[in-house]
Amino acid sequence: MESPQPMVLANARLATMAAPVSGRGAVVIAGDRILWAGAEADLPAEHARAERRDMEGRLITPAPIDCHTHLVHGGNRAREFEMRLEGASYEEIARAGGGIVSTVAATRAASEDDLLVSALPRLDALLAEGVSTVEIKSGYGLDIDTELAMLRTARRLADLRPVRVRTTFLGAHAVPKGHEADAYIDQICLPALRAAHAEGLVDAVDGFCEGIAFSAPQIARVFDAARALGLPVKLHAEQLSHQGGTALAARYGALSVDHVEYADDDDARALAAAGTVAVLLPGAFYFIRETQLPPVAAFRAHGVPMALATDCNPGSSPLTSLLLTMNMACTFFRLTPAEALRGITANAARALGLDDCGTIAAGKRADLAVWDVETPAELAYRIGFNPLHARIFGGRPC
């Protein structure tokens, strides 16, 4: 087979998340891969005659990756939003049978086509900001059929749009009405996991370790099952209280722990030792008006990689913008704009266990975003403004 023709994206500013490039930069892509990236003055002679596209000084970054979403779900929870404005707390609503469980009812009532049609506009909003890869969780089915339907729907999205989808099984998201937690895990969650894995639908296994959901020992049973199937794990941990989920996840070598507002210094140490990414979700922090800040200083001090994601879900984070997520991470959590950009690119890839994307370097996928800005800080700085000029997915502008 003939090798694909290389193309040079020239006269660009580059934020590679790998080797720094100052001044005018260039990226050489061929087929779906990056062949070379660096200062334009150092462009290898072999590419001198390749087709050249003038980026007119625009910034090129790795395409953003949303590494934590619940994009596929039925219904919405605007009524609950009103109730919270009238004084009810997120936890009170959950305990009174609202919350996750009400989205479960709406998701069970939806067909796979309904789920697909309602997820598409949310996916399109992410893609409009250049996103190349989206993680999508199950967890609003809580029965075998609906958990599988959610994962199948998530995979179908990648047939309809130029995007890569990673699917995460989140059967341990909530205890469905009429069930007891341990029995639910044995009788529904673990059989659903095995069935989803048998259909090839599971890239990772997640859980919600919280007072209103599952305890650390219960999550450990789900993780043991994941391990037996050879699947990596991640965990919603330490969002509303300290339950020990972070330490547990680190013991299982989790890809990521997500939320982690209530994590402490020991947790940060354990994450660093395990190489686990802390995924910060400022949209949920904002929307449910949390006040406990994640221990960003401890994460920095111990060298825990930090990623950012929308947590797009109908209850605690109806958010479909990674740019706004970056802004919130900087304003609320005091991340630097550089940390925020790394959080939606290189560290987001790592949180998904992907090593072929998230940076601009030879051999990586040509998933790139071209922005009408001069500096990376401008991406985090604006609120509700989208400076995307072009999105390149697998080497193709689209």
* Interacting residues toward Fe ion by CB under 5 A: 311
Answer with the entry of ligand DI6, Fe ion, none that 280 interacts with (C-beta below 5 to 8 A by kind): none
CB of 12 to Fe ion, least distance (A): 35
Alpha-carbon distance 74 to 69, whole Å?
14
Which position's Cβ is nearest Fe ion?
311
Residue 316, classed as helix, strand or coil, is coil
- Residue placing its CB nearer to ligand DI6 in the complex, 63 or 142: 142
CB of 209 to ligand DI6, least distance (A): 9
From residue 215, give the alpha-carbon distance in Å to each of 137, 172, 192.
20, 10, 19
R_g of the chain computed on alpha carbons: 21
- Residue placing its CB nearer to ligand DI6 in the complex, 62 or 315: 315
Answer with the entry of ligand DI6, Fe ion, none that 208 interacts with (C-beta below 5 to 8 A by kind): ligand DI6
Residue 232, classed as helix, strand or coil, is coil
CB of 136 to ligand DI6, least distance (A): 13
Alpha-carbon distance 115 to 164, whole Å?
18
- Residue placing its CB nearer to ligand DI6 in the complex, 184 or 208: 208
- Residue placing its CB nearer to Fe ion in the complex, 47 or 234: 234
Alpha-carbon distance 75 to 115, whole Å?
9
Q: Contact at 8 Å (CB) between 71 and 32?
A: no
Residue 10, classed as helix, strand or coil, is strand
Answer with the entry of Fe ion, ligand DI6, none that 252 interacts with (C-beta below 5 to 8 A by kind): none
Answer with the entry of ligand DI6, Fe ion, none that 325 interacts with (C-beta below 5 to 8 A by kind): none
Beta strands in the chain (DSSP E): 7-14, 25-30, 33-39, 51-54, 59-62, 65-66, 133-137, 164-172, 204-209, 234-237, 256-259, 277-280, 306-308, 368-371, 388-393, 396-397
- Residue placing its CB nearer to ligand DI6 in the complex, 179 or 300: 179
Answer with the entry of ligand DI6, Fe ion, none that 239 interacts with (C-beta below 5 to 8 A by kind): ligand DI6
- Residue placing its CB nearer to ligand DI6 in the complex, 82 or 374: 82
Answer with the entry of ligand DI6, Fe ion, none that 103 interacts with (C-beta below 5 to 8 A by kind): ligand DI6
CB of 311 to Fe ion, least distance (A): 4
Question: Interface residues with ligand DI6 (CB under 6 A)?
Answer: 99-100, 103, 173, 208, 236, 239, 284, 311, 313-316
Alpha-carbon distance 65 to 127, whole Å?
10
Residue 45, classed as helix, strand or coil, is helix
Q: What angle do CA 230, 352, 385 make, to 5 degrees?
A: 160
Q: Which residues, in sequence order, are CB contacts of 228 under 8 Å at separation 6+?
A: none
CB of 195 to ligand DI6, least distance (A): 22
CB of 139 to Fe ion, least distance (A): 8
- Residue placing its CB nearer to ligand DI6 in the complex, 77 or 364: 77
CB of 106 to ligand DI6, least distance (A): 10
Tokens for 229, please give them.
Answer: 């199937």
Answer with the entry of ligand DI6, Fe ion, none that 75 interacts with (C-beta below 5 to 8 A by kind): none
